[in-house]
Structure formats: C-alpha cells, structure tokens
Structure 1
Amino acid sequence: MKWEKILVRYGELSTKGKNRKTFITQLRNNIKFSFIDLPNFKMTAERDRMFLTSKDDAEIQQLIERLPKIFGIQSFSPVASSTQEMDDILETALKIMKSLEHQDKTFRVTVKRTDKRFPLDTYELQRTVASHVLSNFPSLKVQMKDADIDLRIEVLSDAVYMMAEVIPGAGGMPLGSNGRSLLMLSGGIDSPVAGYMLLKRGVRLDAIHFHSPPFTSERSKEKVMDLANQLSHFGASVRLHVIPFTDIQQSIQAQIPDNVSMTTTRRMMMKIADLVREEIGALGIVTGESLGQVASQTLESLTAINAVTTTPIFRPLISSDKLDIIDIAQKIGTYETSILPYEDCCTIFTSSCPKTKPKLEKVEYYESFKDFDELIKEAVEKREVLSFPNSKKNDFENLL
C-alpha cells in the first residue's frame, strides 16, 4: 500500500492552553532529531494534529516503524490519497482494506466533506463506499459504534484523503518540555524503567552510575552503557556520568557497621548525585526504588537516605509491583540487557542481615567518624562522562 502522509494526533498536548505552541514546537524538534537520517520528509503542524509527508516509500515505512517511540504522540495513522473521481476513491478504499486484517471484523465509514462542491453529500458518500467495501469483503459486519475498522475519508478541494489504521503512540509529553533530571542508573531492571517513565513526562535525562573496579567488571559498566544507549532511542541524547566509587565503598566497609552499610552507601551515592545534578543544572534526582522491595527501600531507609539532600527525589515506581515493572522493561526493550549477570556495586558488599528500619541518628553517628567529603569531591571530579547515542552528534541536539 502506498501511503502519501502520516497523520499525527497530539493527545494530551491538545488540552494545553496558551502555551500549546511551545509544546508543539518541542515535539517538532524531537521528531527532527529522531529522524535526522531521513532527509526528505516534511512536517506541517496544525492546532490538534500534525502531518508528516514524504515521496519516498522507504521513508514513510521508517516513520511508521519508529514514531511509536516519540513521546507526545497519542496515535498516528498512515494516509492514502485519491482524486475526487468516484472510481479512484473506491479503488483506494479497497487497497486500504486489503492492507488490514479484516476477517470477521466490524466496520464503518466516517466522512468529513470539507469541499462542499463535491457532488455527493456526506451520507451518500458513506453509503457508496461502504457498499463497495462490503461487496468485496463479505466477512465484514457493519457496526456504527466502536467498530474494529473505521475507514475515515476527508474530501478536500485538491484530493481525497483516506485512513483506517490507528497506531498507538507513546503518549506523554514531548521530551524537553519539563526540564532535566539525573537518573541513578544501576544496571538492574528498575532504574531504566524509572528513567523511561520520566522521559515520558517530558523530562530530559542525564544518568549517573557508580563503578567499583576491581570489584565490578568492565562488563558491568558496558551493560549500563547499553542501557543508557537504549534510553537515548526515545528521542533525545543521554549523558552518562560514571563515578569511581571503589575508595568510598572500601571506607564504608571499614568504618560503618555491616547491618547499616547499605544505608550509608546509598546516602553517599545520593550526595554525589546531588553534586553532579547541581553542576549540570538538573532539577531533580530519579531512582528506580519501589517501596519495600529490598531492605534499602523501606520507608525508614528511604527517610535516612533522603536526609542528605533537599533536592526533589522522583521515584516513579514507588508503588509498582515487580511483575508490573518487568512488563514495562520488556515492552521498552531494556529487560534482556538488565538481566545480564554482571554485578553492580550495590550487590558486591551486601550485608547478610541489613537493617530494614535504620535509625537516622545512629547512621549519622557512625558516619561522623570518617570524613567522606574529600572522597566524594574526588569521585565527582574524576568521573567519566559518555554521551549516547554516539551516532547522533548533530545540530538538532542543541534544540532539545
């Protein structure tokens, strides 16, 4: 089937008021960034929808395949065109129906007759097209409400446009419309999903990872790099800050009682993340914590960890079940990478009996015997910064 253009529906953006244009402009920039490798397609934005056009069939197919990852798009439909000649309209309608799964489906025709000079009125055109389709596809059944297939026809002065397939988009808000935050990316299942959920709300991300060689291997670092790269495929680049964490972890093991060492480890990570956040101008810190999932994610543990910063901590998975998190990870394509069996710094020194209800005053007392500030400052200064995806260094990146 030859498609002329793609109709993009904004969804949530349509509810915006005077600032709607800002969000639509951001979506346009994100689409430009995501499809910089397709030089021939063009965009035309309207109040509640956008059209993407290309004379290159291969580009249209690429747009159809990759648009579902662009945040800010509720749904989209491939659009075919015909002349105003009735035979051409009927032939195009049949081609569209043949491209869809139609066996034992319900069906209806919806007409928008913008060109009032067209000889048939709305109901006549509906009946004519529906009768022709039904005579060629006898398994179809007419259903005017909630039909499986809605063949939509818009009659304009220069052409007649038709569509039937509605492909779900990623929803949410355009990336870059809600500032920047710093994602604590461990390499497990949860943190990439948390990052995805903030991306969906229009938040651009940097990521931070804590690497403790020789206790953690280069393979574990490469795993996190792969996850950062996967997150960059949702419409904007991601910078990954790799923190050398070995000296701090060894100091924690030497100074802090074993049963609260994980709480202190998380507190030191949060302090470092807050310094990096301030340096890059991010407004919040994102974690993949889910309440009660492990000892460091009880309400008491989270309270002790939060005490080191006044920065907003976003925990989009806080009430999610593990199976729900896994479902999202599989959907967005990070699950198989996350389950690769390479250790991270939070697993190598795990206590056999960690405190699930650590007392903040006791944790602070144990930490007072060691000056961690210099180690933290040194770790921030010696961090490695990587950008993903590597292949998309282009002018549009500055627009995001």
Structure 2
Amino acid sequence: MHPPGADTVLVRHGDLNTKSNTVKRYMEGLLAENLEAILADRSVPGEVERRWSRPLVHTTEDAVEDATAAAADTFGVVSASPCLTTSTEKDRILEVLAETARARYDGGSFAVDARRADKSLPYDSDDLAREGGAAIWEAVADEFEPEVDLDDPDLTFGVEVREDVAFVYLEKRAGPGGLPLGAQEPVIAMVSGGIDSPVAAYEAMKRGSPIVPVYVDLGPFGGIDHEARAMETVRVLSGYAPNFDMEVYRVPGGETISVLVEEMEEGRMLSMRRFFYRAAEVLAERVDAHGIVTGEAVGQKSSQTVQNLGVTSRATRLPIHRPLLTRDKADIVEQAREIGTFTESTIDAGCNRVAPDRAETNARLEPLLAAEPDDLFERAEEAARNAKLVEP
C-alpha cells in the first residue's frame, strides 16, 4: 500500500553502512546497477538515483508497486517503501500525512514513525511524530474514532526527512539484505534439482557472490526430468541476477556413478560427493571461481554427519561453503517457497537411487580410499574437462 500519488521507491541497505566510504560508494554503485537490471528485466519503468545511503527509484504511481517488488528482490536491499516525496517544511509534511490518512486509513490503530536526518531543521523527530499524529487524527475523526497504538499499530505512517526532501510511506517491504551481487568473488554452486541446493546458492548470492551453477548428470540414476528440475531452479535464481551469466555447466557423471554402485556398498555416497567436489575444483580453475557452495546441513542425511562432511571436504583444496549447515529442513523448505524454487525442487533426487541399503555415517578417510576406485579423481577431472555449457 502506498500514499496517493506515490511515484518513488525509497531503498534502504544495511551491511553497506558498515563499510568505509570508498567501499560503500563502490557497493552502492553495484546495488544501483543490479536494481536497474532487475527493473529492465521485468519491464518496470524506473530511473535509479544513486543517493548516499538511500538510493531512490523514480517511477510512476501505476508502476510503483512493481518497482517496490523489484527493489525488495535485489540483494543488498534491507527494505523498500513506495513513497510520496515532498518538501522538508513541517507544515507540508503534515498536509501530506492528512491527505494520506483520508485516502488510506479507514479504521484500526495507527502510529507515526518519523525520522529526521538533517539536524539543522527547526523540528525534531518527536515533534514530527506528535504533530503528524494529531494531523492524521483530525483528518479522519469525522469518519470514525481513530486509535493510537505505538507498540503494535494496524497501520504505520512513515516519514523520513533527508537534507532536501521528505518521504511519506505506509509500508517497509522486506528485502533479502546482505551485500550487492558482485561485491564478492564468484563461487561454484552445485545444483542437484533438490530443495536445498538452490537455497544455498541464493544465500551465497545474498552475500555478494555470483554463482557458476554446476549440475552433475547422473546418467540412469538421474534422468531428463531430474535435470529439467535443476535447470528450472537456476532459471528462477537467474531472475534475481539478470545482469549476470547463469549458464549451467553439465558434468557427465553417469559412467562413474555406475562404477561406484557396482563396486562399492558402504561409503559410495561419500565417494560420489568426492567425485563432485573434485570436478567442481577443476571447473573453478577454468572459470576463476573461489569456492564451492552446497546445500548440505549437519545430520540431514547420512552422508552429512560431521564426520562424513570432514571426509568428503578433503577431496578439494577449495573451501566448501555450506550456508545451510545449521538450518532445519522446515526452515529451508519455507525459504525455498519464498524465493520461488520449491515447486521445481520436489522431484525425488536421483542420488536417492544410488544410496546403499546400509549407509555409512562415521567414515574414515583411509578405508574409504581403499574401497573407492583408484582413478576416482582422474575420472572427476576428465568429467570436468568434458563439461558442457547449457542454457537453464
């Protein structure tokens, strides 16, 4: 909901404010570029103004809700508000609050959240909140009995006064937070078509790292549908990063997985992951990526016990980033729904058909090395060299 006549989106960021001025200026530039890209990708009219600490999107009232939604999907944005801009004169702000109340406030409790950045103005935040509340009350008192609730109001009238302009708004739409995409180095993101890996990739993107998606073709243990689901989750993720290349590296792994199934019982799931990680390391060298992101969480599967994670991690010299390490499955599922990857991730994972009857939960590296094929890493390196780029 927005004030009548609103044609601007007020964008707020968080972690950027902890940086030095030089770094902050650089990251705000990235944020503006990414926001412009999302607006363009969604065909939303809007011009981004790169103001210090508060980027703005200038649009039209008809498009202000869509522009706000685009801003709220941009990494680095903490919140976004569709707002009406006005002068910093207190009387004019009070008029806008009254006009907004008459148009949008039709019952329940309300509060005024006023913030003043320019300390030279002849009023402070408390003055604005108190007098703004009175203006709202008077504007609607003939229609119904208004109620003030400063703790949990049904409707909050927000006012933010900067040096040369004031913003009036009715909502703060939460964004993902984090850092602007591109603020960190790229990472390999292992995508499997399951629920967890797209959420982990999203979390890496949220901290500023562009992802290089990698899908390992499991051959008869995966299938066309399984791959299609993985590709669709990457398509969803690409919507959050339209100005970044999101082509997927498809790594041929079916032959090696078949060998693992034929030759190994206990530990084959761990050797399969070791195969994945070594292939990812070779690809990382090829694309100048600096880590591997997976959707693993402690104890979620037998291969993901703390002991087993330690064993599989030793397959690569690169750091393996596990953003979901301590997350509960229900939380991961909820986030998958929120970011739009859940529906396309609900097919049974192909690796479930690789799992042996008796799972290894407490592996040791030496016995695993003795049991797995001697040429496992050579196979992984060759598979990485034969990886093909495919459009998601």
Residues 111 and 126 in structure 1, CA contact (< 8 A), matched pair in contact too = no
**What is aligned with 1:332?**
339
Greater Cα offset, 128-137 or 315-324: 128-137
Residues 109 and 129 in structure 1, CA contact (< 8 A), matched pair in contact too = no
Q: Distance in 2 between matches of 1:248 and 1:69?
A: 39
**What is aligned with 2:100?**
96
**What is aligned with 1:246?**
254
Q: Distance in 1 between matches of 2:54 and 2:226?
A: 43
Q: Distance in 2 between matches of 1:48 and 1:354?
A: 52
Residues 218 and 254 in structure 2, CA contact (< 8 A), matched pair in contact too = yes
Greater Cα offset, 217-226 or 86-95: 86-95
**What is aligned with 1:299?**
306
Question: Post-superposition shift, 1:174?
Answer: 0.8
Aligned-partner SS, 2:11: strand
**What is aligned with 2:369?**
364
Q: Distance in 2 between matches of 1:327 and 1:211?
A: 27
The amino acid of 2:186's aligned partner reads R
Residues 30 and 181 in structure 2, CA contact (< 8 A), matched pair in contact too = yes
Q: Distance in 2 between matches of 1:384 and 1:5?
A: 44
Deviations 1:230-278 (A, max 9, x none): 11122343231111111111222233x2111111111111111111111
The amino acid of 2:203's aligned partner reads M
Task: Please point out which of 43, 48, 56 is paired with 1:51.
Answer: 56
Aligned-partner SS, 2:318: coil
Q: Does 1:41 align with 2:46?
A: yes
The amino acid of 1:162's aligned partner reads V
Q: In the superposition, relative to structure 1, how do residues 101 and 363 fare at CA in structure 2: closer, same or farther (>3 Å)?
A: farther
Aligned-partner SS, 2:112: strand
Deviations 1:367-386 (A, max 9, x none): 3x532344323311322213
Residues 216 and 252 in structure 2, CA contact (< 8 A), matched pair in contact too = yes
Task: Please point out which of 9, 13, 17 is paired with 1:10.
Answer: 13
Q: Distance in 2 between matches of 1:113 and 1:290?
A: 43
1:16-31 superposed matches below 5 A: 16-18=19-21, 19-31=23-35
Residues 187 and 224 in structure 1, CA contact (< 8 A), matched pair in contact too = yes
The amino acid of 2:187's aligned partner reads S
Task: Please point out which of 346, 368, 380 is paired with 1:376.
Answer: 380
Question: Post-superposition shift, 1:339?
Answer: 0.9
Q: Give structure 1 stretches of 5+ with no counterpart.
A: 389-400
Q: Distance in 2 between matches of 1:231 and 1:302?
A: 26
Greater Cα offset, 263-272 or 122-131: 122-131
The amino acid of 1:338's aligned partner reads S
Q: Does 1:68 align with 2:72?
A: yes
Q: Distance in 1 between matches of 2:234 and 2:346?
A: 15
Q: Does 1:184 align with 2:190?
A: yes
**What is aligned with 1:274?**
281
Q: Give structure 2 stretches of 5+ with no counterpart.
A: none
**What is aligned with 1:392?**
none
1:126-275 superposed matches below 5 A: 126=132, 129-136=135-142, 138-143=144-149, 147-153=153-159, 161-236=167-242, 237=244, 238-255=246-263, 257-275=264-282
The amino acid of 1:294's aligned partner reads K
State the TM-score, normalized to the length of structure 1. Answer: 0.84
Q: Distance in 2 between matches of 1:156 and 1:15?
A: 20
Aligned-partner SS, 2:247: strand
Q: Distance in 2 between matches of 1:193 and 1:124?
A: 44
Q: Distance in 2 between matches of 1:39 and 1:144?
A: 35
Greater Cα offset, 24-33 or 124-133: 124-133
Residues 108 and 147 in structure 1, CA contact (< 8 A), matched pair in contact too = no
Task: Please point out which of 316, 320, 324 is paired with 2:323.
Answer: 316
Question: Post-superposition shift, 1:102?
Answer: 5.3
Q: Distance in 2 between matches of 1:90 and 1:360?
A: 70
How many pairs does the alignment contain? 381
Root-mean-square deviation over aligned CA pairs:
3.1
Q: Distance in 2 between matches of 1:280 and 1:204?
A: 12
Residues 101 and 140 in structure 2, CA contact (< 8 A), matched pair in contact too = no
Question: Post-superposition shift, 1:177?
Answer: 0.6
The amino acid of 1:32's aligned partner reads E
Q: Distance in 2 between matches of 1:111 and 1:319?
A: 37
Q: In the superposition, relative to structure 1, how do residues 67 and 84 fare at CA in structure 2: closer, same or farther (>3 Å)?
A: closer
Q: In the superposition, relative to structure 1, how do residues 138 and 13 fare at CA in structure 2: closer, same or farther (>3 Å)?
A: farther
Aligned-partner SS, 1:107: strand
Q: Does 1:351 align with 2:359?
A: no
Q: In the superposition, relative to structure 1, how do residues 172 and 133 fare at CA in structure 2: closer, same or farther (>3 Å)?
A: farther
Q: Distance in 1 between matches of 2:352 and 2:45?
A: 49
Residues 11 and 75 in structure 1, CA contact (< 8 A), matched pair in contact too = no
Deviations 1:18-69 (A, max 9, x none): 3111111110111121112447522222222111112x33432320222221
Question: Post-superposition shift, 1:360?
Answer: 0.7
Residues 197 and 294 in structure 2, CA contact (< 8 A), matched pair in contact too = yes
